[in-house]
């Protein structure tokens, strides 16, 4: 087996699973892109097996601390372990992220389950090359009726792959899911991400617990999950803002499907907040898409986050609540909290922290691989009189 010799004091030697080109002391053999390689230290001690791609910034991703082939038995074992973990955590096995990349020992593989439909992403070259084997392993272990491919994420370009979307097994049909008593019809082939934001499911419930009797504004509403959860929880009024015409149409359809009153506004959130000078809301929810995909644009992203928070804070009533989220792993929880603090200073307001949020347990976070944790959020209440 070809492989890489890793430099001393790199993160891999301290539990991390990624190898950057700058971490490589020497390459032995002639590994092909997508091949499984051995990782060794300078004393020829085995550090594990990894998938290799010279075209990627991350040239190797370790998936085992042993010598291991990527064969059908391996995929089945890893999927079964992922299922067992979710059962132990009380996760609904029919509505969850079934496989979360490195967190489940399958770097670049994401599998979301919506009942009998699986949505698969293969975001690393090695896993994409073994897609057929992976599909067969999913069929044997999960026994779905449909497997859909949503390989349209921009990250595939970094691995030297083109976008691809389609049906890999079975026949695609509209999918309906039930989340805390609210029914949604989702589009697994064309919707955002894989059709629904599964990482926020617990947070829909936790935010909606504060909605009763309140005037709610849900920004970047996407499929309307926060808005509909708040409406079902007894909010006095709910406004959902979504820039996409298709998204706004889907929110209206979901509201009608559940018989829930909802005001849907098709608009750019920045422009909407700027125009709402006379409006007041008791609960504002900010769940924007990632403002940055790389660390180089972090400062620009923070300026965007601060601006939108400043505008939202101006619309809050006395003792109003702000539930705010970031899904960028480049923005840490302390940095996100610091940005909110800066926005409060500029708005001449103070706030008390009520809750913190993170991704659900079906999106497990590896302690030694912090990049597996990306979603963070805060619920704060304005401190009147300060």
> Is the same domain home to 341 and 207?
yes
Does 178 fall in a domain?
no
Per-residue CA distances from 238 to 215, 280, 377 (Å): 6, 12, 21
| Domain housing 113 | 72-173
The mean pLDDT value for 240-252 works out to 95
CATH number for the domain that contains residue 51:
2.30.130.10
CB-based burial label for 359 (10 Å; 0-12, 13-18, 19+): buried
pLDDT band at 386 (very low <50, low <70, confident <90, very high): low
Q: Note whether 262 and 227 are within 8 A (CB).
A: yes
Residues 349 and 235 in one domain: yes
237-242 vs 263-266, strand pairing mode: parallel
**Which tens digit of pLDDT belongs to each residue from 202-214?**
999 999 999 999 9
**Residue-averaged pLDDT of the chain:** 95
Phi–psi pair at 278, nearest 5 degrees: -100, -5
- pLDDT at residue 277 in the model: 81
User: Could you say which of 118, 145, 173 is where a domain stops?
Assistant: 173
Question: Is 373 found in the same domain as 260?
Answer: yes
Residue 20 — left, alpha, or beta (φ > 0 → left; ψ -120 to 50 → alpha)? beta
Q: Is residue 80 part of a domain?
A: yes
User: What is the pLDDT at residue 193?
Assistant: 87
Provide the angle, in degrees to the nearest 10, between the axes of the packed helices 201-208 and 225-232: 40
- Considering the domain architecture, whether residues 45 and 154 belong to the same structural domain is answered as no
Residue 293 has pLDDT above 80, yes or no: no
Q: Both 49 and 112 in a single domain?
A: no
pTM reported for the whole predicted model: 0.94
Same structural domain for residues 44 and 134? Answer: no
Measured in residues, the chain has a length of 386
List the CATH number of the domain containing 264.
Answer: 3.40.50.150
pLDDT (tens digit per residue) in 309-333: 999 999 999 999 999 999 988 889 9
Residue 180 in any domain: the answer is no
pLDDT for 239 beyond 90: yes
Give pLDDT, residue 290. 78
* Statement to judge: residues 21 and 102 lie in one domain: no
Active site residue 117: no
Average pLDDT in the 299-314 region? Answer: 91
Q: What are phi and psi of 21, to 5 degrees?
A: -60, -35
The angle that helices 298-313 and 333-347 make with each other, rounded to 10 degrees, is 50
Would you state the pLDDT for residue 286?
97
Residue 197 placed within a domain: yes
Per-residue model confidence as pLDDT tens digits over 9-55: 999 999 999 999 999 999 999 999 999 999 999 999 999 999 999 99
Specify the pLDDT at position 298.
80
Are 198 and 166 members of one domain?
A: no
In a shared domain, residues 257 and 162: no
Distances (CA, A) of 179 to 17, 95, 201, 214: 34, 9, 7, 21
- The answer to whether 282 and 340 are in contact (CB under 8 A) is no
Exactly one of 96, 117, 219, 327 is catalytic; which is it? 327
> Could you give the CA distance from residue 168 to residue 330 in angstroms, rounded to a whole number?
33
Residues 247, 208 share a domain:
yes
- Listed residues 125, 141, 173: the one ending a domain: 173
Q: What angle do CA 347, 379, 338 make, to 5 degrees?
A: 55
The three state secondary structure string of the chain is CCEEEECCCCHHHHCCCEEEHHHEEEEECCCCCCCEEEEECCCCCEEEEEEECCCCCEEEEEEECCCCCCCHHHHHHHHHHHHHHHHHCCCCCCEEEEEEHHHHCCCCEEEEEECCEEEEEECCHHHHHCHHHHHHHHHHHHCCCEEEEEECCCHHHHCCCCCEEEEEECCCCCEEEEECCEEEEECCCCCCCCCCCHHHHHHHHHHHCCCCCCEEEEECCCCCHHHHHHHHCCCCEEEEEECCHHHHHHHHHHHHHHCCCCEEEECCHHHHHHHCCCCCEEEEEECCCCCCCCHHHHHHHHHHHHHHHHHHHCCEEEEEEEEEEECCCCCCHHHHHHHHHHHHHHHCCCEEEEEEEECCCCCCCECCEHHHCCCEEEEEEECCCC
Out of 56-70, 187-201, 220-234, pick the least confident.
Answer: 187-201
Q: How many CB atoms lie within 10 A of CB 176?
A: 12
- What's the pLDDT score for residue 1? 83
CATH of the domain at 97: 3.30.750.80
What's the pLDDT at 328? 87
Higher pLDDT, 276 or 232: 232
- Residue 265 pLDDT grade (very low, low, confident, very high; cuts 50, 70, 90): very high
d(CA 113, CA 359): 16
pLDDT of residue 292: 65
Asked whether residue 205 is assigned to any structural domain, the reply reads: yes
pLDDT of residue 297: 73
280 and 340 in a single domain? The answer is yes
**How many domains, in total, are found in the chain?**
3
**Any domain includes 109:** yes
Residue 179 lies in a domain: no
Residue where a domain terminates, one of 64, 87, 107: 64
Task: Please report whether residue 375 resides in a domain.
Answer: yes
* Per-residue pLDDT band at 361 (split at 50, 70, 90): very high
221 and 114 inside one domain: no
Query: What pLDDT was estimated at residue 385?
Result: 65
């Amino acid at each position: 087996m070809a492989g890489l010799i890793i430099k001393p004091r790199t993160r891999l030697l301290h539990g991390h699973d990624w190898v950057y080109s700058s971490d490589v002391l020497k390459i032995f053999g002639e590994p092909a892109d997508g091949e499984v390689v051995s990782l060794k230290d300078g004393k020829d001690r085995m550090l594990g097996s990894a998938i290799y791609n010279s075209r990627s910034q991350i040239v190797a991703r370790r998936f085992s601390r042993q010598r291991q082939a990527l064969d059908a038995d391996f995929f089945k074992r890893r999927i079964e372990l992922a299922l067992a973990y979710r059962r132990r955590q009380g996760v609904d096995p029919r509505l969850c992220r079934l496989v979360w990349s490195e967190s489940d020992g399958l770097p670049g593989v994401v599998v979301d389950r919506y009942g009998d439909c699986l949505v698969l992403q293969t975001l690393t070259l090695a896993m994409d090359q073994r897609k057929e084997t992976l599909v067969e392993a999913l069929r044997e272990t999960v026994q779905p009726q449909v497997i859909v491919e949503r390989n349209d994420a921009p990250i595939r370009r970094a691995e030297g792959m083109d976008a691809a979307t389609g049906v890999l097994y079975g026949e695609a049909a509209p999918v309906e899911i039930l989340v805390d008593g609210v029914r949604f019809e989702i589009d697994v082939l064309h919707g955002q991400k894989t059709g629904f934001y599964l990482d926020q499911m617990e947070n829909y419930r936790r935010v909606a617990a504060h909605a009763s009797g309140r005037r709610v504004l849900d920004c970047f509403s996407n499929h309307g999950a926060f808005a509909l959860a708040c409406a079902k929880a007894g909010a006095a009024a709910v406004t959902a803002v979504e820039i996409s015409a298709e998204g706004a149409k889907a929110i209206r359809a979901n509201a009608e499907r559940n018989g829930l009153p909802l005001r849907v506004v098709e608009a750019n959130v920045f422009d909407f907040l700027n125009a709402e000078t006379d409006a007041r809301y008791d609960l504002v929810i900010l769940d924007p898409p990632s403002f940055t995909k790389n660390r180089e644009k972090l400062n620009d992203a923070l300026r965007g986050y601060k601006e939108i928070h400043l505008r939202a804070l101006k619309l809050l009533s006395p003792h109003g609540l702000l539930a705010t989220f970031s899904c960028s792993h480049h923005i840490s929880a302390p940095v996100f909290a610091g940005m909110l603090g800066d926005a409060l200073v500029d708005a001449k307001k103070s706030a008390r922290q009520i809750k913190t949020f993170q991704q659900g347990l079906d999106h497990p976070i590896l302690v030694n691989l912090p990049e597996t944790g990306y979603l963070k959020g805060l619920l704060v209440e304005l401190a009147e009189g300060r």
